[in-house]
Amino acid sequence: MQIYLPIAEVSVNAFLLLGVGGMVGILSGMFGVGGGFILTPLLFFMGIPPGVAVASAANQIAGSSFSALLAHLAKRTVDIKMGIVLLAGGLLGSFLGVMLFALLKSMGQYELVVSLLYVVLLGTIGILMLIESVRALRRARDPNAGLISRKRHTWAHGLPLKMRFRASQLYVSAIPPFVIGILVGILAAIMGVGGGFIMVPAMIYLIGMPTKVVVGTSLFQFLFVTGFTTIMHAIENKSVDVVLAVILLLGGVIGAQIGVRLATRLKAEQLRILLAMVVIGVCLKLASDLVLRPAELYSIELSGS
C-alpha cells in the first residue's frame, strides 16, 4: 500500500515503513540502542531526503525508547540520577547539533557530510561489534578464553564534582557522563541516531556502570533528548514529516516490547554478530553510493554535452 509523505514529497510502501520501524524497535529493546544508525540509512535507501529522514527518525527513536524504558522501569534497572546527568549534557548537545544541522543545510553540504559520517561511523561500529561478538562466543565456549577483568575504578573516578549514584553503586565524577551526553545529543541532531552504540560501552568501560543498569539508563536519556531534537527540528528546520514519523513510531513501539522479551531468551552474542553484519552491509552500500553517484552524474553530463 503506497502512501504519500507530504514533507518528504515521495510515495513509499506503508507496510515496509512499519516493518522497518518494528525492526529498529526490536534493536532498541534488546541492546539499549536507539537504532537510528540503521533506520536513517534505510530511509535514505527508500528515497527519503536526508534532512527529513534524520528529523523523523529522531521521533521514532523517542517512541521506541519510551516503550522499552517502561519495561526496564518495571525491572528497576534504570539509574534515574545518572540519567538526569546524561540528559543535561544531551539537551545541550542536541541544541548545538540542530544549529549545526541548519548551518550545513544552508551551505548545501549536509547530505555529503552526513553520508561520510555514516560510512566512517558504521564501518567502525560494525567491525568492533563483530570482533567483540566473536570473542564473546569464544568465552561462552571456553570460560578461560580471552578472559579480561573489567576494572571498577578508572581514570574517570579521579575527576572532581563527584556524585553518588546509588542505583549503579557508583561514586564518580559527573563530568564524564555529562560530556558523553553532549556527544550523544549532537549525534542525535545531526545524524538521527540515539547514540547508544557510543553511550552503552562508554558508561560500562569508562565509568564502570553495571551492564544491567546501563541499558535502561541510556533509554531514559534517549527518550528526552530525541524528543527535544524532534521539536527543535520541527521549529527550526521544518523537516519533520508527521506521516512518516507516526508510521515508524507505531512499528517502533511494538518492536521494542518484542525486543525486551527476546533479550531474555536468545543468545546476545549470536544476535550481535548478525547485527554487526547488517551494519557493515549498510556501510558498504552507503560507501558505494558515494562513489557511484558522482560517476553516474558525470556520465550523464558527458552524454548531454
Q: Residue 248 falls within a domain, yes or no?
A: yes
The reported pLDDT for the residue numbered 178 is 92
For the chain, give the percent of residues with pLDDT over 90. 2
Angstrom distance (rounded) from CA 188 to CA 109 = 18
Angstrom distance (rounded) from CA 237 to CA 184 = 20
pTM equals: 0.65
Amino acid at 297: L
Angstrom distance (rounded) from CA 169 to CA 176 = 16
Q: Residue 234 falls within a domain, yes or no?
A: yes
In the structure grid, which three cell numbers stand for residue 212, read together? 544491567
- HSE-up of 220 (CA within 13 Å, CB side)? 20
Average pLDDT over residues 96-117: 81
User: Are residues 5 and 244 in contact, defined by beta-carbon separation less than 8 angstroms?
Assistant: yes
Where does the chain show beta strands of DSSP type E?
Answer: 2-5, 10-13, 162-165, 170-173
Q: Residue 296 falls within a domain, yes or no?
A: no
The reported pLDDT for the residue numbered 149 is 47
Q: Residue 185 falls within a domain, yes or no?
A: yes
Residue 88 has pLDDT above 80, yes or no: yes
Average pLDDT over residues 185-194: 75
Query: Number of folded domains in the chain?
Result: 1
Question: Other C-beta atoms within 10 Å of 278: how many?
Answer: 17
Q: Quickly state the pLDDT bin for 137 (edges 50, 70, 90).
A: confident
The reported pLDDT for the residue numbered 147 is 44
Q: Residue 297 falls within a domain, yes or no?
A: no
Angstrom distance (rounded) from CA 33 to CA 24 = 9
Q: Quickly state the pLDDT bin for 92 (edges 50, 70, 90).
A: very high
Where b means 16+ CB within 10 Å and e means fewer, 147-161 reads eeeeeeeeebbeeee
User: Are residues 245 and 60 in contact, defined by beta-carbon separation less than 8 angstroms?
Assistant: yes
Q: For the packed helices 50-74 and 242-263, what is the interaxial angle rounded to 10 degrees?
A: 40
Residue 303 has pLDDT above 60, yes or no: no
Residue 90 has pLDDT above 50, yes or no: yes
Is 267 exposed, middle or buried, given 0-12, 13-18 or 19+ CB atoms closer than 10 A?
exposed
Q: Residue 303 falls within a domain, yes or no?
A: no
Element (H, E) at 132: helix 110-141
Query: Mind listing the pLDDT tens digit for each residue in 233-255?
Result: 777 777 778 888 888 888 877 88
Q: Residue 300 falls within a domain, yes or no?
A: no
Q: Which residues form the domain of 139?
A: 2-143+151-285
User: Are residues 30 and 260 in contact, defined by beta-carbon separation less than 8 angstroms?
Assistant: yes
User: Are residues 272 and 139 in contact, defined by beta-carbon separation less than 8 angstroms?
Assistant: no
- Mapped to the 3 state alphabet, what secondary structure does 42-98 carry? HHHHCCCCHHHHHHHHHHHHHHHHHHHHHHHHHCCCCCHHHHHHHHHHHHHHHHHHH
Query: Mind listing the pLDDT tens digit for each residue in 214-237?
Result: 878 888 887 788 778 778 777 777
Angstrom distance (rounded) from CA 193 to CA 229 = 11
Q: Residue 224 falls within a domain, yes or no?
A: yes
